[in-house]
Structure formats: structure tokens, C-alpha cells
Amino acid sequence: MLVEYNIAMPCVHYLSSGITGRLIPMPWFSAAMIVVILTASLELGVVQSSTVVGYYSHSCPAAEKIVSQVVAEQFATRPLVAAGILRLYFHDCFVEGCDGSILLDASPDGTPPEKRSLANNNTATGFELVDAAKRRIEAVCPGTVSCADILALAARDSVAISGGPRWEEPTGRYDGRVSLASNADGSIPGPSFNLTRLIHSFANKTLDSRDLVTLSGGHTIGRSHCANFQIRLYNSSGTGLPDPALNPAYATALRRICPNTSPARRATLSLDRGSEIPFDNSYFVQLLAGNGLLRSDEELLLDGSMRGLISAFAANQRLFFREFAKAMVKLGGIGVKDSIQGEIRLHCRRVNRRNSGSSPRVPTPPPPIMRSRAPPPPY
């Protein structure tokens, strides 16, 4: 078993037990002194960058329940909000890491944030759900729970309430202070990516081909705009013809809903044919039948090992659920900020003002949790 700590020497600058901010030349340090300093850093929780299950169990025990309640309330009237939150979380993690940067509005100088990138503008949804959860949590635990963690928990609960797996989500993230549309456009995998670009995009985030297939299964819920796949219907690879990989009957049905006109590009269709709300393994079944909506979906079938995994998921929903839970925990570890790199935002749409007296408290983590690196299976 492992106790997970992330120790960084910058902790020394922030020790308050009689240690000044001056850097002492290394020759003055003895091995014993270094051990004392590092131990004090851990005890004070000065720099926290790793995530653990139950991070808020002492500082804000109601946090996870509040997020679950808000997700349930909004899902009851807008079930597609679950897909919006899942997509929002994925897009957040793929840019600056899982730091809630996608939630930020434009900075005072007007620089477009991530939510105004080509990948997100007018299509990213779920912001209001995160705002609602943040307001309720701030009322009981001010300055304690990060927006990044709220988004991660909301993604987990959105999958579960849609019928999918529920897993133990590690928390303890800090909120990022940088959000740039230009960074998002170069980082988020697109619906027209070929297999090589998809694999490269995921590898850049320490995700492998198995994660690629598994996380693509999130397309079992939600809808997509015609603009994301219209070229497959009318001019695949510049041929002036539909994509031959598409089921002909499915292609005909798609062309009726998405005619080759500009206004039609705003129309939407289910990513998983005939099944846009329940979270299940239908996406993989449809993919094998030639009913994959996006080119990025269809490309997964070109690799033999990926196709084998798709077939396994299509035949075994429990296997897919188990692997999806594991992949989501892995996704949630990308680019986690510590208390120096990030902050606990008071409002999810804007960074905290510096030197305004409104800086929130640094959350106090619970006692170290003994656990293995792999989360327990959801079943």
C-alpha cells in the first residue's frame, strides 16, 4: 500500500513556525534539518498538490452531497445537462489540466477565455450547474471547495444519474488562474481528427489508446451539431460522396436532418443513435454497426486492438463501466494545481482579487489515507 505525498521544496518559503522567507545556503542544511522542514511542510499542509478520496471529509463534509443534489435537481428537468457537464470536464482537463479554467469568463483586458474557443463557443454547457453548486457550498464552507473539484464531482454524478457507474472521485484540486481560447483550440481533440491525431492528443495528456476508446464511450449520452459531421454526409475525403464507412441507411437518415446548407449546421442529433440520455454501452454496439456519428468515433475501428476493445465493451456493459470509472479517475489527475499554482476561487467565473482581503483559506486535508494507486472497482 502507498501513502501518496507530493513534497516540493518551495514549501520552505511558506513555513510559519519560526522560519523566515530567506533562502539559507544549502551547506547550512544538515540531513536532519531537511527532514524537519519537509515534515513541518506536510503537517502544516502548506503546499498541497495531490488528490485523495475524501479530501473534504473534515473541512466540508457536505460538499459531495450538495453537488449530487444539484445534479439531481437539474437532471430532473434537463437530462441532457449530464452530457454537457461530462463534456465540460473533459475539455477542462485537456487544456490547463483539471483546474476549472474552462469556467472562467473573459479577463478584464478582454482576452477570450477557453469557453470562447472554437471547440467550446456556443456549444459548451453546464456552467449554471457548477455555479449553483458553488453558491450552496460557499454558504456552508466558504473559501474551501475548489470549482475544479465541483466540476469533477458533477461529472461523476452526471454519469451515475444517467445510469452509468459511480466511483470514488479523488479531490483536493486547486483552481487555475489562466484561461485562454488559443490554448484550448490547440489542445482539445476535434470531431474530425484521424486516428493518429487522436492517439497523439491523448498521449500528450498521459492517456493511452485504451483510455481513448474507453473515454470515447462518454458519447453514449448527449447530442452533436450537424457541423461536426456534415462533411461525412456530402464530401467525405473530397470525393463528393458520403463516407463509405457509414451505414447507408443511417447516412440517408442523417442527410434528412442535416441538409447540405449553412442553417442546418446548427441542428443537433444524438451521438449514440436513438439513445442520448441513458449511459450504457450502446455507443459501442452502434459503432460496430456502422452508426458512429463522428469521424473521430469511426477512426477507432481502424486499429485492431482498439476494435477488439470496442467489441468487448459492446458485449459486456459491466466491463465498460468498470474501465470507464478507472479512466475517469486517471483523467482527473491531469495537470492538478497546488496551492502555489492555483487558488480556491470564491466565484467560479472569475479569479480572486489579489490583496483585497478576500483570499480564501487553504483547505485543510484529512489525515493521510492509505490506499493503492488504483481506485476500487465500482462494482
- Distance of alpha carbon 38 from its chain centroid, rounded? 31
Residue whose cell numbers read 459503432: 287
Going by DSSP bridges, is the β-strand pair 223-225/2-3 parallel, antiparallel, or unpaired? unpaired
- Distance of alpha carbon 129 from its chain centroid, rounded? 15
What's at 44, amino acid-wise?
Answer: L
- List CB contacts of 35: < 8 A, sequence separation 6 or more: none
* Choice among 13, 58, 91, 225 that is catalytic: 91
Q: Which residues does residue 174 pair with via DSSP β-bridges, in sequence order?
A: 337
Beta strands in 131-279 (DSSP E): 223-225, 268-270
**Cell output for 246:** 457509414
Q: Is 13 a catalytic residue?
A: no
Q: Is residue 226 within 8 Å of 267, Cβ to Cβ?
A: yes
What's at 112, amino acid-wise?
Answer: P
* Rounded-to-integer distance, Cα 329 and Cα 214, Å: 12
Q: Which residues are catalytic?
A: 91
